[in-house]
Structure 1
Amino acid sequence: MIESRIEEEWHVTRTKFTAALTAVVLAAAALAGCGDSGGGASSDGKAVVTFWQQKFEDYQQAWFKKYVDQYNASQSKVKIDYQVVPADTWQQKLKAAQAAGKAPDVATTSYGNIAAGAAQGQFSELDGLLPAEAWSDIKDNVKSFVTINGKHYAYPMLVEPSTVLYYRTDLVKAAGLDPASPPKTWADLVTWATKLTSGNVKGMTIASTAADIAWSSWGLQYNACGYLPIADDWSKARATDPCFAKVAEFYKSLFQGNTMPRQPKVGYPDAQPYGQGEVAMMANGSWAVGQLKADYAAMIPKTAVAPFPSLDGDPSKPTATLGGWTLTVDGKTKVKQQAADFIKYLLAGDPAIMADFFKTSGFSKYTVRTSVDTALAGTPEATSDPFMKIISEQVVAHGKQEPAYPFDIALAFGTAVEASMKNTADVPKAMKTADDAINDVIQKQQLKGTAPKS
């Protein structure tokens, strides 16, 4: 459910060293007996394209298998060898495979890892392998996600906005507020959260720990400042710019106003507090739609969604970043064109294929192609969904790409916001600490001048 919000660095931070080491050993052992990667041939003479998919929700594995099977049935010279790899061993197994020269020909890759992979020669350039119309079909605010120095190294599959506002229409009415006119500014949201806090029900839930704030607040950082707390060329920190203090003050006002859970049982990606009626409003990603539909269906008729409020009320400014997944072709594969042909079929071909994916997801993930939007517009499931149109047109349309810098940068800012909101440091001091920490990361990891260019 949280696969695309926190890049692989975040998966590593949640994994103990001993578990990671065990995974490396097991992956290496498994690969020692595996010779079908890198463009081999099957017993019937077909070229084999090995496809590794990082494990996501169960419905995704079923969807991938359905269309891999259909593709294989239609091919006389190519076979897709589809393998699902658990998320907690993905990094280790992929690195071990690359080191052994047995990387998968096609793999799921998050947006945040495209730039680094392209720079290291891990991915094949896809220009010339896919037709021009495949690229022109991609939405304008997503094209840069897969473009490095003017060349394409991945084909996008989906986007998931990190921040959407969910609210209980029944509780909003009971508090004397208008559910048809949700908060437009951060100040409005604080007012709503205050009025909706009653008895055991808090008015709002939003990220409250450094690790969750680190990535879930990217959209709000863009909203307040128009940029992130590091220079565009990654040469220096800029967390002490006054606009970032406004982000910290916003979180602090919610927490110190006692309008949100002070010790939440689950982290930001989990919709459980809202689903169980503990809060009246929730900031969460679009993936929460899927969780509500699956686990808290009774809450759906009482729920409305809206773009997360803007600092100044301007709805055209971003409040969410867009994470998501792509398919990439290995830079050393022997079946480059066959691998690209499979990607064309699955992600860039008949719009009905991807339309089926978004329907299967319960419309908790969003399209990257205009032709798929058109295909969905003609389906009753999409047009009748209570959330899809608002999230797609008012949130995704203004979303920004997740940053590609190391997660340490994001964590430094998240740590500062948590310190501010919980009064362990005043806002100026916390931002100065973040600024120093970011500069330290830049120096130690030699980041200056390494920022990727679209």
Structure 2
Amino acid sequence: MSKRHITSAIVSTALVASLALAGCGSGGGDAPTTSGGKTVVTFWQQQFEDYQQAWFKKQVDAYNKSQDKVKVEIQVVPADTWAQKLKAAQAAGKAPDVATTSYGNIPAGAANGELAELDDLMPAEAFSDIKDNVKDFVTIKGKHYAYPMLVEPSTVLYYRKDLVQAAGLDPASPPKTWDELKTWATKLTQGKVKGMTIASIPADLGWSSWGLQYNACGHLPVADDWSKSVATDSCFAQLLDFYRGLYQSGVMPKQPKVGYADGAPYGQGEVAMMAGGSWVVGQLKNDFPKMIEKTAVAPFPSIDGDQTKTTATLGGWTLTVDGKTKAREQAADFIKWLLAGDPAIMADFFKASGFSKYTVRASVDRALETNPDATADPFMKTISEKVVPFGKAEPAYPWEIALAFGTAIESAMKGNADVAAALKKADSEINDIIKKQSLAGTAPQR
């Protein structure tokens, strides 16, 4: 997810502040809205990068030209007003027929009846085409409530090949373990250039460390059924020690100018290696094109060197059908055409993204294998084959839990508390959140 996307994906609640966009959907009405004899399908698309707006508009126009009885009307909604506008529309029974939805919002949307089941609206082969490790992202109790569009790994290792070689290291053999990463970071710290950058404040650590939490422990710091905290499990101490070692050894900036989602320090030559999301590929291509030929990517190192273990969660976006719309068949048909139809359509999207986002369908992978732009891209093959297949979904539990654990990592990193004390505090805070929000037993059943 890009820097712009992170805020909208994390903020799960908002005040109902506006009905400005609420009057156009067919959800909750007595019959679908029609225009010129055609059923109108309203599509709210959260505002992303400019190229995405252009791509969506192009595809909506193409779909409309192919239809005799349906017309899709697209509305672009700014990310910072998305939550309140959608909630307002849902409360008024005027939700859009189709909407962009993050993976993390699917469980709550399904539980609240806000999302329609798609199994009877789309062919089974559309779902069998989804990659195995992504299928569960859109599935609740065996039913599909969204169709995935893309994934963005949260954690990839970027490194400067020229600086690596100058330090006597082999650019073709990037570090595979946390200990090897520390060694590289130490050797690459030269003069004003730090060897490594990684998240260092709670708001970034809360989500960017999910993949490494899985890597260290095989699970997150809360029980699978959300009944209790498990933040004091000994494996999490190893994770906090890893972050603390990087921060306190002087190999990373102590006061970074930007957050984890922004790759500018790497692009500007301030650091030799970077932990960053896959979206940084697009940022480098757009803002720091001269850095591309100097850069290589690799899976982020694993605690024990096993690179089939998760080091990244997979954020991203889906399209969903409103649970109350009277135009559900037409809405699902649009989603099928756009996301689950001709693989060339989505292959075109990934090309437009600069191959900074990654496919969720096997058929689109095959289409990209014959695309000369895709095969020539210096990063796509590594990320799509060595990172994406081992990624897990972002957790659906409340953000407060993630923030409590992110705060524990920061406390240990910066010496505000020892590792055991930091984890004990997080454990207490997470149990308090579970109690206050009555979370026990409410975890989504995939």
For Structure 1 versus Structure 2, the TM-score category normalised by the shorter chain is: over 0.9
2:297 aligned partner: 305
Per-residue CA distance 1:244-280 (angstroms, 9 max, x = gap): 0111110100100010000000000000000000000
2:361 aligned partner: 369
1:225 aligned partner: 217
Once the two structures are TM-superposed, the CA of residue 31 in structure 1 deviates from its matched residue by: 4.1
Q: How many residues align structurally? A: 442
1:108 aligned partner: 100
Once the two structures are TM-superposed, the CA of residue 41 in structure 1 deviates from its matched residue by: 3.2
**Any residues of structure 2 matched to 1:164-183 within 5 Å, and which?**
164-183=156-175
The partner residue of 2:153 within 161, 184, 192 is 161
The answer as to whether partners of 2:26 and 2:326 remain within 8 angstroms in 1 is no
1:17 aligned partner: none
Once the two structures are TM-superposed, the CA of residue 9 in structure 1 deviates from its matched residue by: 3.5
The partner residue of 1:385 within 377, 382, 406 is 377
Q: Aligned partners of 2:381, 2:228: CA distance in 1, in Å? A: 39
Q: Aligned partners of 1:31, 1:400: CA distance in 2, in Å? A: 34
2:279 aligned partner: 287
Establish whether residue 77 from structure 1 lines up as the match of residue 69 from structure 2.
yes
The one-letter code sitting in structure 2 at the alignment partner of 1:47 is T
Q: Aligned partners of 1:413, 1:86: CA distance in 2, in Å? A: 30
Q: Against the structure 1 CA distance between its residues 365 and 264, is the aligned structure 2 distance closer, same or farther, given a 3 Å change threshold? A: same
The answer as to whether partners of 2:214 and 2:220 remain within 8 angstroms in 1 is yes
The one-letter code sitting in structure 2 at the alignment partner of 1:266 is V
The answer as to whether partners of 2:24 and 2:42 remain within 8 angstroms in 1 is no
Q: Aligned partners of 1:321, 1:437: CA distance in 2, in Å? A: 23
The one-letter code sitting in structure 2 at the alignment partner of 1:352 is A
The partner residue of 2:352 within 357, 360, 364 is 360
Secondary structure of the corresponding residue to residue 220 of structure 1: helix
Establish whether residue 8 from structure 1 lines up as the match of residue 9 from structure 2.
yes
Per-residue CA distance 1:404-424 (angstroms, 9 max, x = gap): 000101001000000000000
The partner residue of 1:122 within 114, 127, 133 is 114
**Any residues of structure 2 matched to 1:227-376 within 5 Å, and which?**
227-376=219-368
Per-residue CA distance 1:180-229 (angstroms, 9 max, x = gap): 00001000001110110011000000000011000000000000000000
Per-residue CA distance 1:147-179 (angstroms, 9 max, x = gap): 000000000000000000000000001111110
Secondary structure of the corresponding residue to residue 282 of structure 1: strand
Secondary structure of the corresponding residue to residue 387 of structure 2: helix
1:207 aligned partner: 199
Q: Against the structure 1 CA distance between its residues 403 and 6, is the aligned structure 2 distance closer, same or farther, given a 3 Å change threshold? A: farther
Q: Aligned partners of 1:11, 1:173: CA distance in 2, in Å? A: 45
1:16 aligned partner: none
Once the two structures are TM-superposed, the CA of residue 4 in structure 1 deviates from its matched residue by: 4.9
Once the two structures are TM-superposed, the CA of residue 45 in structure 1 deviates from its matched residue by: 1.5
The answer as to whether partners of 2:24 and 2:96 remain within 8 angstroms in 1 is no
2:44 aligned partner: 52
Once the two structures are TM-superposed, the CA of residue 8 in structure 1 deviates from its matched residue by: 3.5
The answer as to whether partners of 2:129 and 2:361 remain within 8 angstroms in 1 is yes
Q: Against the structure 1 CA distance between its residues 231 and 7, is the aligned structure 2 distance closer, same or farther, given a 3 Å change threshold? A: farther
The answer as to whether partners of 2:227 and 2:434 remain within 8 angstroms in 1 is yes
Q: Aligned partners of 1:11, 1:235: CA distance in 2, in Å? A: 21
The one-letter code sitting in structure 2 at the alignment partner of 1:166 is Y
Structure 1: gaps spanning 5 or more residues: 13-19
Q: Against the structure 1 CA distance between its residues 11 and 212, is the aligned structure 2 distance closer, same or farther, given a 3 Å change threshold? A: farther
Q: Aligned partners of 1:289, 1:42: CA distance in 2, in Å? A: 42
The answer as to whether partners of 1:4 and 1:325 remain within 8 angstroms in 2 is no
Per-residue CA distance 1:78-101 (angstroms, 9 max, x = gap): 000100000000000000000011
Once the two structures are TM-superposed, the CA of residue 453 in structure 1 deviates from its matched residue by: 1.2
Per-residue CA distance 1:298-330 (angstroms, 9 max, x = gap): 000000000000000011101000000000000
Q: Aligned partners of 1:286, 1:128: CA distance in 2, in Å? A: 34
1:407 aligned partner: 399
Secondary structure of the corresponding residue to residue 227 of structure 1: coil
Once the two structures are TM-superposed, the CA of residue 2 in structure 1 deviates from its matched residue by: 2.8
Q: Against the structure 1 CA distance between its residues 4 and 318, is the aligned structure 2 distance closer, same or farther, given a 3 Å change threshold? A: farther
1:431 aligned partner: 423
The RMSD of aligned alpha carbons is 1.3
Once the two structures are TM-superposed, the CA of residue 11 in structure 1 deviates from its matched residue by: 7.6
Runs of 4 or more, structure 1, over 4 Å off, are 3-7
The answer as to whether partners of 1:317 and 1:398 remain within 8 angstroms in 2 is yes
Q: Against the structure 1 CA distance between its residues 116 and 340, is the aligned structure 2 distance closer, same or farther, given a 3 Å change threshold? A: same
Q: Aligned partners of 2:320, 2:33: CA distance in 1, in Å? A: 21
The one-letter code sitting in structure 2 at the alignment partner of 1:73 is K
TM-score by length of 2: 0.97
Secondary structure of the corresponding residue to residue 261 of structure 1: coil
1:449 aligned partner: 441
1:189 aligned partner: 181
Once the two structures are TM-superposed, the CA of residue 115 in structure 1 deviates from its matched residue by: 0.5
Secondary structure of the corresponding residue to residue 260 of structure 1: coil
The partner residue of 2:55 within 50, 60, 63 is 63
Secondary structure of the corresponding residue to residue 386 of structure 1: coil
Q: Against the structure 1 CA distance between its residues 284 and 371, is the aligned structure 2 distance closer, same or farther, given a 3 Å change threshold? A: same
Once the two structures are TM-superposed, the CA of residue 128 in structure 1 deviates from its matched residue by: 1.3
